[in-house]
């Protein structure tokens, strides 16, 4: 039997890891796939750098389209990153009747609907396990392992850079800017860390997870996204005092109004397993009606962790290349004609508990004013911390935890608090999820 030939687009960290894993574990992989898998060629930006990797038997080129158009290649593995040229290559590969494996979360989140439709029309597969949470097989778990379940919600720490920063802030009392600089020095964060610390990377991943969990089209533009750059060491400390830890969480939840899609800093009870995921690790908690809560934990990035998911996708593709396309696992878990029109809800319709921190004048009657604001709106307060004022300061920090409430109502409450003459603006808000 002729081996299945693969073409790599990109030979960076993940591309090199993929080639290395395929070569090192070739015998084991062929036993699982039922056929030998060979990397025929790889498109790279820098030939000299790629040649120095010493990957044997792989033809190197700077022309990605020559790989995509090679009639001997059956599977194109897109590991370049970016969207525009990557989309062009993937669409051309599908037009050529080739199957595609990608680790590109932005590509899938932004253009997946179009890509999957083209693949369905041509009878091709597009596999993207490595696009979310690196080496954790979370997509396969939701799409196949939990296929019997109605999934109520999922929540995940799906960006290792943000998790590293918040872990260091909690464990060592450091400030955000200080830890970010270290993350950049260690290679955890890019020179421009916006995608990581402002939640865009996590929003790409949440878009994909929500689609396969609820059977809805990919809708990146509907994800509410908030970063962690405004989190202070004081907030981390106060949260701990209240029995919580702050994590940068992606949350997708079905509600009576539709589906909530949101990425933001979140207080989680310290007893929860998800609150104890530290450093650059990732974890996703999925709550299904039959299986109950299931937790998936592991490395969310790295050469071989991500390569593990890429190679697993290649194996899946090879196993089912000759199968009737109608009998393959659907890209978004549900049959394409059965995708739901469940609409994303607006931010005002979110429901959450809240952590609020405000600076108030150190004078009688302030707490009564604050309590009156929430009482008038019917917002229940669960806990209050009033801290001592700093030396030579006339303001005191007040920290509140509320019960679950509609976000639109909380917006009104915060506006009323900020209108009080005794309260300095702005009031800091962080959402709270019990994950129970």
List pLDDT tens digits, range 149-184.
999 999 999 999 999 999 999 999 999 999 999 999
What whole-number distance in Å separates Cα of residue 63 and Cα of residue 395?
Answer: 63
Ranges of H-type helices in 275-431: 303-320, 366-377, 407-419
| List 205, 254, 256, 387, catalytic entry | 205
- Of the CA atoms within 13 Å of residue 433, those in its CB half-sphere come to 24
172 labelled catalytic: no
The domain over range 350-432 is classified in CATH as 3.40.50.2300: no
Which of 232, 228, 236 shows the shortest CA–CA distance to 170? 236
For residue 412, with 0-12 CB atoms within 10 Å meaning exposed, 13-18 middle and 19 or more buried, which class applies?
Answer: middle
Note whether 356 and 431 are within 8 A (CB): no
Two tokens, residue 106: 């932005």
Residues in CB range of 33: below 8 A, 6 or more apart: 4, 314, 315, 318, 319
Tally of CB atoms within 10 A around 186: 11
pLDDT value, residue 286: 98
The model's confidence at residue 424, banded by pLDDT at 50, 70 and 90, is confident
Determine the 3-state secondary structure of 94 from DSSP.
helix
Q: What is the mean pLDDT of residues 44-68?
A: 88
pLDDT value, residue 56: 83
Rg (CA), the chain: 24
Between these two residues, 2 and 146, which has the higher pLDDT value? 146
327, pLDDT greater than 80: yes
How would CATH label the architecture of 4-135+303-338?
3-Layer(aba) Sandwich (3.40)
Note whether 34 and 318 are within 8 A (CB): yes
pTM of the model: 0.95
Whole-Å CA distances, 180 to 16, 38, 68, 191: 27, 40, 38, 10
**Fold that domain 145-298 belongs to in CATH:** Dihydrodipicolinate Reductase; domain 2 (3.30.360)
Domain ranges of the chain: 4-135+303-338, 145-298, 350-432
**Segment 333-367, tens digit of pLDDT:** 999 999 998 899 999 999 999 999 999 988 888 88
Whole-Å CA distances, 104 to 109, 111, 352: 9, 11, 31
Two tokens, residue 70: 């090679």
Q: Do 145-298 and 350-432 show the same overall fold?
A: no
pLDDT value, residue 281: 96
């Amino acid at each position: 039997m002729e081996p299945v030939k693969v073409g790599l687009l990109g030979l960076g960290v993940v591309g090199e890891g993929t080639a290395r894993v395929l070569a090192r574990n070739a015998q084991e992989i062929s036993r699982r796939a039922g056929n030998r898998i060979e990397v025929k060629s790889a498109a790279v930006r820098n030939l000299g750098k790629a040649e120095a990797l010493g990957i044997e038997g792989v033809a190197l080129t700077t022309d990605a389209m020559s790989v995509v158009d090679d009639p001997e290649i059956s599977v194109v593995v897109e590991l370049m990153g970016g969207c525009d040229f990557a989309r062009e290559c993937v669409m051309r590969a599908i037009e050529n009747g080739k199957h595609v494996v990608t680790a590109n979360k932005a590509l899938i989140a932004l253009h997946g609907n179009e890509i999957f439709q083209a693949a369905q029309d041509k009878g091709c597969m597009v596999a993207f396990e490595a696009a979310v949470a690196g080496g954790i097989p979370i997509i396969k778990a939701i799409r196949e392992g939990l296929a019997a379940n109605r999934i109520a919600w999922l929540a995940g720490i799906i960006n290792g850079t943000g998790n590293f920063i918040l872990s260091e802030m909690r464990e060592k009392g450091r400030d955000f800017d200080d830890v970010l600089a270290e993350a950049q020095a260690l290679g955890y964060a890019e020179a421009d860390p916006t995608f990581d610390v402002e939640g865009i990377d996590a929003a790409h991943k949440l878009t994909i997870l929500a689609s396969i969990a609820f059977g809805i089209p990919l809708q990146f533009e509907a994800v509410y996204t908030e970063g962690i750059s405004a989190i202070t060491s004081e907030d981390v400390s106060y949260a701990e005092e209240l029995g919580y830890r702050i994590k940068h969480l992606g949350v997708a939840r079905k509600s009576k109004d539709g589906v909530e899609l949101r990425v933001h800093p979140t207080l989680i009870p310290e007893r929860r397993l998800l609150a104890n995921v530290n450093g650059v690790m990732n974890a996703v908690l999925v709550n299904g009606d039959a299986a109950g809560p299931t937790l998936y934990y592991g490395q969310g990035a790295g050469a071989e962790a991500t390569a593990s998911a890429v190679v697993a996708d290649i194996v899946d593709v090879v196993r089912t290349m000759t199968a009737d396309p109608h009998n393959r696992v659907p890209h978004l878990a549900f049959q394409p004609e059965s995708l739901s029109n469940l609409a994303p809800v607006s931010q005002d319709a979110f429901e959450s508990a809240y952590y609020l921190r405000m600076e108030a004048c150190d004078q009688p009657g302030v707490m009564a004013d604050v309590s009156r604001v929430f009482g008038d709106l019917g917002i229940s307060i669960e806990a209050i911390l009033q801290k001592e004022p700093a030396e030579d300061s006339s303001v005191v920090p007040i920290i509140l935890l509320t019960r679950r409430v509609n976000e639109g109502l909380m917006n009104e409450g915060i506006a009323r608090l900020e209108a009080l003459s005794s309260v300095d603006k702005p009031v800091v808000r962080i959402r709270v999820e019990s994950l129970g």
